[in-house]
Amino acid sequence: MKFTSLTTIIISAAAMAGVAIASEDLVLTPKGLPCGSPDTVGCSTGIKGWNNDDDFGFFCGPKGTIISYTACSCKNCCILTADGDDFQCGS
C-alpha cells in the first residue's frame, strides 16, 4: 500500500512539472478573444502581461471575436479614425 502511494506521488509530481514547463511557452495574444460588436474596429488599453500592457487596435469579426490586431508601442494612444473603419496608434 505504501508503495502505491509513493508511486502516485511521483507520477503526480512529474505531471505537474510537465504542465509547468509547457505553460512557460504559452503566449497570449488578442486574436480570438471576444470583442464588443461584430464587424467593427476597436481599440483596447492592453492586456495585462502582453505587449508591456500597451494599447492595441483590432478588427472584430462576424462572430464577435478579434480576427486581427496591431500592437501599439504606447499607452492610451490607440484612436479610431474619423470614419470609424480603422485605427491608429499615436496622436
Say yes or no to pLDDT of 5 above 50.
Answer: no
Considering only residues 88 and 8, tell me which one the structure prediction assigns the higher pLDDT.
Answer: 88
pLDDT digits (tens, 9 = 90+) for 49-90: 899 999 999 999 999 999 999 999 999 999 999 998 999 998
Would you state the pLDDT for residue 49?
87
Say yes or no to pLDDT of 8 above 60.
Answer: no
Considering only residues 65 and 48, tell me which one the structure prediction assigns the higher pLDDT.
Answer: 65
Say yes or no to pLDDT of 7 above 60.
Answer: no
Look at residues 28, 88, 41 and name the one whose alpha carbon lies nearest to residue 67: 41
- C-beta atoms surrounding 75 within 10 Å: 12
Q: For residue 47, give the DSSP letter.
A: B
